[in-house]
A and B are shown apart, each in its own frame.
Chain A
Amino acid sequence: MPTVECRQLTKVYGSGDTAVHALRGVDLTVEAGELLMLVGPSGCGKTTLISVIASILDGTSGECRVLGQDVLTMPAGDKPKFRLQHLGFCFQSFNLNPCLSAAENVAVPLLIAGWKYARALARSRELLAQVGISEKADVLPDQLSGGQQQRVAIARAFAQEPDLIVCDEPTSALDSVTGEKVMQLVREMTHRTQRSVIVVTHDARIFKFADRIVAMEDGRIVPPKEEVAGGFDRLPPAYVETTDGRGQA
């Protein structure tokens, strides 16, 4: 069973003349253990698509099955538990709580799930060790570098051992070396634990870490022939903005 299966998924903001069609019949499948990158110009609907897949935004029509459950018809009250059990998040701006230590930030999903504080903290120290910053467990986020903060965020995303992790521009706030290291880590953890990962990105430098790249434009997935397996070079340049100019139309 695929981890994600979207069929004719639409999302419309507003109504009537002011309606904005953010998703126009998206068909997308993400297999278990796959690291898929979603690319495309700003406003093409990438973030809307992962928001709907992550069940933090309601779709308008179609079907979006995550682990076999259609998140469009799932009762609103069931969604928090579903996200907690099956989804992990990684954000562009890390979104770490500045008042909590690195270990406590990692422990947040576990504490939400009802773990005892000491047990959750012990588990989060293990995760921080896996992402290579065990010595920073008791440090506040503002005392960490950008790369270290993103490692904390990745550890947090993996804390509950979710089946699917959605990452929104995980390297855009990082320099190229750090960005590559972070993506290397995401890839390692993904393949080691057989989780599925969807990465929304503009950053062409990290395309090499993808198992598959899917491009979007105007709320649609571009035709399958334009999907690219394993690299940036075969991707239509118009869909990608890069910091070094590669791929610009």
Chain B
Amino acid sequence: MLRIALKTLFGHHGKVIGMVIGLAVASLMMTQQPATMMSILGRTYSFINDVSQPDIWVMDPMVQFVDDAKPLADSKLGLVRSVSGVAWAVPIFKTTTVARLPDGNTASGQLIGVDDSSLIGAPAKMVSGLTDDLRRTDAVFVNDEGAKLRFAQKQADGTLRPLQVGDILELNERRAEVVGIARTGPTFSSQPVIYTTYTRARLYAPAQRKIMSFVLVKAKPGHDVLELTHEIREQTGLAAYTAEEFKELSLWYFIRNTGVLINFGMVTLVGFIVGAVVSGIMFFNFTQDNLRHFAVLKAIGATPRQLLGMVLLQAAIVGAIGYGIGIGLASIMAMLSSTFQVKFTYSLLAFSAGGVLVICLLAAGFSLLKVLRLEPAVVFKG
């Protein structure tokens, strides 16, 4: 019976192609759009990912997301260090700055000042140079994306030359030598990231009395991290979050305050609706065209269960093909796109598979109603 179902399905090439295209479009949009959204939203906390050593981030209680650093007095560092359970606590500075490039052009970027002695907060992956090179005079690291794009310099022949180790930048009218290129997560605004030491960052940033953006804290071995965040809050009056909590805080700020979720959500919804309508109508028409054959099967003695199995198999087959093509197209688009580093997580694939499944069930459901209500006596109508 299932073989009959498949042969009947593939005997209607045009309708199968239509159904598969509808489902492929739905699958593509339900995968590619949320993946792009996740990629964009993931950039909102890429800095927290890049600074992987601390367990806890301490900040001004009014901070709403990672780029919303509100400077703290340096005295707060000692306060945090005094909390029992803190193994170490180091400052980190984060601000925006404008760099003058070797060719005289200027470009804005993020300036990160990491602890002078431990270099905690410095990028973990170096493309060229060593982390210790940051201790050299006027030393800065630049992230590779920034070096290749915004900080690249136009050559006489029109080509772009990425910023390289040895190049000299001017930050706040001070010399800064590029001693390393680091690999970091892409930022939300795609700005280049410049790393230097905390002390030197004071000079590279416009003058201000307080510059400490966050205090990075490591819990003592065996000390509960969540409990330590409560203790820091109580004893310092500052906000303290685990890295995961801080990521979530940043993520939700962007979800609440930007149209990212709504825009991508709408496109995803449109994809679902278009897929459901196109595939649903095509599948219904396919069933309608074969209603007489279903009636013959019923008259001969096919049970409702057998007919149900046939229709569901047909829906499942076009669903699987459409889903596969949609995922394939989404993967190709992701590979061709240099702007976003899109990742297809298992949950995302399950989400789009669920969407396709719902479409198939809806299409099959309407068709099944028609088939199961069908009076087999219609076989005798000419």
Measured CB to CB, the residues of A under 8 A from B are 47, 50-51, 54, 56-57, 80-85, 87, 89, 91-93, 95, 97-100, 104, 108-109, 111-113, 117, 168-169
Chain B residues with CB under 8 A of A97: 4, 7-8, 11, 293, 296
Task: Take A80-B302, A83-B301, A97-B293 as given contacts and tell me if A104 and B379 are in contact as well, using a CB distance cutoff of 8 Å.
Answer: no
Chain A residues with CB under 8 A of B247: none
Chain B residues with CB under 8 A of A84: 300-301
A80 in contact with B298 (CB, 8 Å): yes
Contact of B301 among A57, A93, A112 (CB under 8 A): A112
The answer for the CA separation of A56 and B303 in the assembled complex, in Å, is: 13
Contact of A117 among B3, B292, B306 (CB under 8 A): B3
Task: Take A56-B377, A83-B299, A93-B382 as given contacts and tell me if A111 and B4 are in contact as well, using a CB distance cutoff of 8 Å.
Answer: yes
The answer for the CA separation of A75 and B301 in the assembled complex, in Å, is: 14
The answer to whether B10 has its CB under 8 Å from any CB of chain A is: yes
Contact of B7 among A47, A51, A93, A100 (CB under 8 A): A100
Across the A-B interface, give the 5 residue pairs with the lowest CB-CB distance, nearest first. Answer: A99-B11, A84-B301, A56-B376, A57-B377, A83-B301
Nearest CB of A to B292, in Å: 6
Interface residues on B, range: 20 to 34
Question: DSSP class of B's interface residues: helix, strand, loop or mixed?
Answer: helix
The answer to whether B375 has its CB under 8 Å from any CB of chain A is: yes
The answer for the CA separation of A80 and B302 in the assembled complex, in Å, is: 6
B380 in contact with A168 (CB, 8 Å): yes
Interchain pairs with CB closer than 8 A, number: 80
The answer for the CA separation of A82 and B376 in the assembled complex, in Å, is: 14
B299 in contact with A47 (CB, 8 Å): no
Chain B residues with CB under 8 A of A83: 299-301
The answer to whether B335 has its CB under 8 Å from any CB of chain A is: no
Chain B residues with CB under 8 A of A56: 298-299, 375-377, 379-380
Chain A residues with CB under 8 A of B1: 111-112
Task: Provide the B342-382 mask, 1 if CB < 8 A to any CB of A, else 0.
Answer: 00000000000000000000000000000000011101111
Which chain B residue shows the least CB distance to A111?
B1
Chain A residues with CB under 8 A of B3: 111, 117
The answer to whether B161 has its CB under 8 Å from any CB of chain A is: no
The answer to whether B210 has its CB under 8 Å from any CB of chain A is: no
Task: Take A109-B300, A111-B1 as given contacts and tell me if A91 and B380 are in contact as well, using a CB distance cutoff of 8 Å.
Answer: yes
The answer to whether B12 has its CB under 8 Å from any CB of chain A is: yes
Nearest CB of B to A179, in Å: 16
B380 in contact with A51 (CB, 8 Å): yes
B298 in contact with A99 (CB, 8 Å): no
A104 in contact with B299 (CB, 8 Å): no
The answer for the CA separation of A56 and B297 in the assembled complex, in Å, is: 11
B292 in contact with A95 (CB, 8 Å): yes
Interface centre among B292, B300, B376, B379 (most CB of A within 10 A): B300
The answer for the CA separation of A183 and B293 in the assembled complex, in Å, is: 24
Chain B residues with CB under 8 A of A87: 301
Chain B residues with CB under 8 A of A113: 301
Task: Take A91-B380, A112-B297 as given contacts and tell me if A104 and B302 are in contact as well, using a CB distance cutoff of 8 Å.
Answer: no
